[in-house]
Structure 1
Amino acid sequence: MTATLHLGQLIQFNANPFFEGANAAKHVIEGAILVDNGMVEQVGEAQTLRAEHPDAAVQDHGTHLLLPGFIDAHAHYPQTGMIASWGKRLIDWLNSYTFPEEIRFQDPAYAKEMAERYLDILLAHGTTTVCSFCTIHPTSVDALFEAAAKRNMRVFAGKTCMDRNAPDALKDMAQTAYDDSKALLDRWHRKGRASYVITPRFSPTSTPEQLSALGQLWAEHPDCLMQTHLSEQVDEIDWVLSLFPKARDYLDTYEAHGLLGRNGLYGHAIHLTDRERSRLKEVGAGLIHCPTSNTFIGSGLFDMDGLTQAGHTVGLATDTGGGSSFSMLRSMAAAYEIGQLRGRALHPSELLWLATEGSAAALRDDSIGRLVPGAAADFIAVDLASTPAIAQRATRADDIWEALFPTIMMGDDRAIVQTWVAGSPAL
């Protein structure tokens, strides 16, 4: 296969901007990415790479900005069809919208249809990696991984386990949760670009016995990620403590059953106690910020500044369909808005970091979210003047961050000119 040089503007991070500021990133106005066999081989100045690789094919993207593909670190692909459902808080929203839709995934044909639709929507929005909850049905996991394999996408996913406080059609048992999850793990984990994720939905929908069974499975496969929800809403926390009266706090309902660790992903994490913050930091767990969901369902304001400055690993996510958009651009914009409400305006470099390298760090995968030699060639071309409103603002920009910020705040899938997955054009 002939290597290809992709020419355009580049932003490359050499450090975490939450600690180093905008100086953590380098802007290359006339840059190039050398791609061969689905991998990034070299990145640098266009003039230099063209001279070094005269036989490479060339794709010139002009002034478009070449970025790593976005990484959505927490989503529910089965909620694709009922995204933007009106007027409920978390528990009522689950009962009214989510659970009836998830029951439909017992039909393999429906699961396949929705998995295909979902991944195509992601690619159109520039998202090349997702970490998703499925339903209790193993066929829903198979459908997503099969659709991802067809597109060669990097996907993390797992069977959502529930054995109480859910419709009978969506409940399993402690043993079947373990057995089904183990079978799916054996079938999919590290096969191609797939990673299996052990997935208790959250403590209210799992008995202690089921949580312990999944904790045992995680202990047997510690290289797997484990994903769940934590401290999303205050009434949810009250419910959890009523169900687990001996627990010190919400996090303790996981910790007591072997579900706290470095490879844990804890979605939302808004209303954390001091003990919870300390333990999450101590084990190095990943916290996943879901800003459009937090505002849409009225959950609260994530403490991005406090948690990042304390050294927590934080990723960014849409939380489809509690989140009201499939776009990571919109998630970045919402993260900025929540930061403003907490008194700290996040810099565009921090927002971009969260949607790429930050989420990759939470998912423990340094082969994605970066344009560096040896990384997967999952990248996008972004038009910084995709609409008249954005274009007129961008013309006033004095630097790349001023040029990018209007796209973060007002951009959508029209800003994504092209998405590449493992070096090949998607869609």
Structure 2
Amino acid sequence: MHSAVGNTNAGKNVTQAYRASILYFTNDPAFDSQATVWHEDGVLIACDGKVQAVGAYAQLKNTLAEDVVIQDYRGKLLMPGFIDTHLHYPQTDMIASPADGLLPWLDKYTFPTERQFSDAQHAQEVARFFLDELLRCGTTSAMVYCSVHPESVDAFFTESAARNLRMVAGKVMMDRNCPEFLQDSAEQSARDSEALINKWHKNGRQLYAITPRFAATSTDAQLKLAGELARTYPDTYLQTHVAENVDEVAWIKSLFPKARSYLDVYDYYGMLRPRSMYGHCIWLDEFDRSRMAQTQSAIAICPTSNLFLGSGLFNFDYADAQQVLMSLASDVGAGTSFCMLKTMNEAYKVARLGGTHLSALRMFYLATLGAARCMQLEGVIGSFEIGAEADFIVLDLQATPLLARRTACTTSLEELLFVLAMLGDDRAIWATYAAGCLVHTRVSSDS
């Protein structure tokens, strides 16, 4: 055996080994003191894009064949790739657009930007940049909103498949309360969605999400058809928005006066179920959260977006009281960064304002195994369980002078991870791997 530092895009049935400090989770560390697995000098062994073994280097080094090349990342941190459970790829070019709230922001920036995605070439160019940016930030899986145009979905999945990424995405469904140039019909949106499901769901590593934008932009007929699609294709995903903004909540109440709550609109149409992901969930009540827990529906917490649009502060304690599945999400483009480290930074501050201390261990859990659990993909992504897909990242603890100085002073894993979450950004991502193949590396001159 010998060490190497070059690319390790391995062929089929080639064993790969990576030596570094290794971190992953087996449970939520907020409720299980044994949930964190940490090997200060560890090794991850992968074969054919799957995890074969992980553990202390001293214990596993003799199990490797003589011809196995060890990628030497000592001094760096290796962990499962980040999972972002809610973001919009058509909004890439309008990130950091100012507005005085969610609804004006949609009208002024979002809808005009999304209009361009009827052009397949434009959609492909944006999808290419978007996915490269995710990988640069260490995100290996995401739940992505496309635009209302089927071409936007084809462009996204084509680019994702070319990189062999585990991605979830879907065509937005909107048949009212949006510009005519983005409006589909209930029937056409259902036909388009079903055709895209048959084309892309479980095509390689691609997975499809039925995607009504939010209740305000769908008629009862469209929501009914979305619910029927969810029942017809129970292993697909479903994603939408709920209870993001007080003005939005009031609008939903006026549109659906018979519904008990905003979430109840979706519940009525059979859209609360495993593999459903609800963005924001700030203004839910206790009954709503109980329903989400009962149905295994999941929350995508979007701290940078919620702060940017002034939507409100997510309450972690309320969600934990009902044991609702939850994860962290960037919500680009209302969210102001693709980077999950920066998303953790804002999540911590949001939690503090609500009287909750969010540990670093838990933040990293919510962005890895916690997100995989929300997506019903535990054992597939988000951890180093044997047989899981080898999606992982290598973090540089010395990516900036300040980060190097501060991490050198840490005295515990919790403190080290907390420093990474508070001071880290895309520069901390040294390398990103998908299914055992190197898909991003930071050149030394960036440091």
Normalising by structure 1, we get a TM-score of 0.98
**Could you tell me how far 1:27 is from its partner in structure 2?**
1.7
2:25 maps to 1:29: no
Aligned-partner SS, 1:376: coil
Verify: 1:84 aligned to 2:101, yes or no. no
Question: Does the 8 Å CA contact 2:81/2:392 hold for their aligned counterparts?
Answer: yes
Match of 1:407 in 2: 420
1:54 is matched with which residue: 65, 70, 88? 65
- The answer as to whether partners of 1:18 and 1:309 remain within 8 angstroms in 2 is no
Query: Aligned partners of 1:155, 1:372: CA distance in 2, in Å?
Result: 19
1:38-49 → structure 2 map (5 Å cutoff): 38-49=49-60
Partner of 2:310, secondary structure, is coil
**Which residue of 2 is the match for residue 98 of structure 1?**
110
Task: Verify the 8 A CA contact 2:84 2:142 in the aligned structure 1.
Answer: yes
**Does the residue aligned with 2:31 lie in a helix, a strand or coil?**
helix
- Is the contact made by 2:97 and 2:109 (CA closer than 8 Å) also made in structure 1? yes
Question: How far is the alpha carbon of 1:181 from its aligned partner?
Answer: 0.2
For 2:201, the aligned partner's letter is H
User: Where do residues 56-71 of structure 1 align in structure 2 (5 Å cutoff)?
Assistant: 56-71=68-83
Change in Cα spacing, 1:297 to 1:248, as seen in structure 2 (3 Å) is same
Q: CA deviation at 1:258?
A: 2.0
Q: Which runs of 5+ in 1 are unaligned?
A: none
Deviation of 1:308 (Å): 2.2
**99, 103, 126: which is aligned to 2:138?**
126
1:128 Cα deviation after fit: 0.3
Residues of 2 paired with 1:244 and 1:54: CA distance? 64
Deviation, 1:343, is 1.0
2:172, 2:26 → 1: CA distance? 36
- Give the letter aligned to residue 143 of structure 1: A
In the TM superposition, what whole-angstrom CA distance separates every residue of 1:62-111 from its partner, at most 9, and x where no partner exists?
11000100000001010001111113310000001100000000000000
Per-residue displacement from partner, 1:157-212 (whole Å, max 9, x unpaired)?
00000001101010001100110000000000011000010000000000011100
CA contact (8 A) 2:26 2:383 kept: no
Alignment of 1:251-266 (within 5 A): 251-266=263-278
Q: Summarize deviations over 1:331-350 as a string: whole Å, max 9, x none.
A: 11111111110111111100
Q: Which moved more, 1:306-315 or 1:139-148?
A: 306-315
Aligned partner (choices 19, 23, 30) of residue 11 of structure 1: 23
Paired with 1:422 and 1:279, the residues of 2 have a C-alpha distance of 35
What is the identity, as a one-letter code, of the residue corresponding to 2:197? Answer: L
Return the letter of the residue paired with 2:438. Answer: P
Report deviation, 1:363: 1.1
Does 1:211 find its partner at 2:223?
Answer: yes
Large movers: runs of 4+ above 6 Å: none
Contact in 2 for aligned 1:215/1:257 (Cα 8 Å): yes
SS at 1:228's partner residue? strand
Counterpart in the other structure of 1:419: 432
2:430 partner amino acid: V
Deviation of the 1:404 alpha carbon: 2.1
Q: Kindly provide the CA deviation profile for residues 223-246 of structure 1, in whole angstroms up to 9, marking residues without a partner as x.
A: 111100010011100000101111
**Contact map agreement 2:244 2:283 (CA 8 A) in 1:** yes
Aligned length: 426
| SS at structure 2 position matched to 1:18 | coil
Q: Secondary structure at the match of 1:240?
A: helix
Give the whole-Å Cα distance in 2 for the aligned partners of 1:100 and 1:12: 41
Q: Could you say which residue in structure 1 is the equivalent of 2:280?
A: 268
1:322 pairs, out of 329, 334, 345, with 334
- Percent identical pairs in the alignment equals 43
Task: Please give the alpha-carbon distance, in whole angstroms, between the structure 2 residues aligned to 1:288 and 1:2.
Answer: 36
- The equivalent residue for 1:313 is 325
* TM-score of the aligned structures, taking structure 2 as reference length: 0.94
The 1-side partners of 2:321 and 2:287 are apart by 17
Q: Offset at 1:263?
A: 2.4
| Secondary structure, aligned partner of 1:17 | coil
Q: Check if 1:221 corresponds to 2:230.
A: no
How far apart, CA to CA, are the structure 1 residues paired with 2:14 and 2:387? 17
Partner of 2:294: 282
Deviations 1:216-267 (A, max 9, x none): 1111111111100010011100000101111111011111222222221111
Contact (CA 8 Å) 2:27, 2:369: kept in 1 or not?
no
AA aligned opposite 2:91: Q
Alignment of 1:292 onto 2:304: yes
After superposition, give the CA deviation of every residue in 1:259-300 in whole Å (9 maximum; x if it has no partner).
222221111000112221221122121111011101011111
Q: Is it true that 1:389 corresponds to 2:402 in the alignment?
A: yes
Q: Is the 8 A contact 2:393 2:429 kept in 1?
A: yes
2:24, 2:240 → 1: CA distance?
31
- Bigger Cα displacement from structure 2, 68-77 vs 42-51: 42-51
SS in 2 for 1:20: coil
Partners of 1:78 and 1:208 in 2: CA distance: 26
Q: Which of 108, 114, 138 is equivalent to 2:120? A: 108
- Conserved 8 A contact 2:76-2:395: yes
Distance 2:143 2:339 in 1: 14
What SS class does the counterpart of residue 426 from structure 1 fall into? strand
Contact 1:2 1:57 in 2 (8 A): no
Deviation at 1:59, TM superposition (A): 0.5
Give the drift of 1:26: 2.4
State the match for 1:249 in structure 2: 261
Query: Which residue does 1:173 correspond to in 2?
Result: 185
Q: Cα distance, 1:396 vs. partner? A: 1.2
Alignment gaps of 5+ in structure 2: 1-12, 441-447
CA-based RMSD:
1.0
Cα distance between partner residues in 2 of 1:260 and 1:404: 34
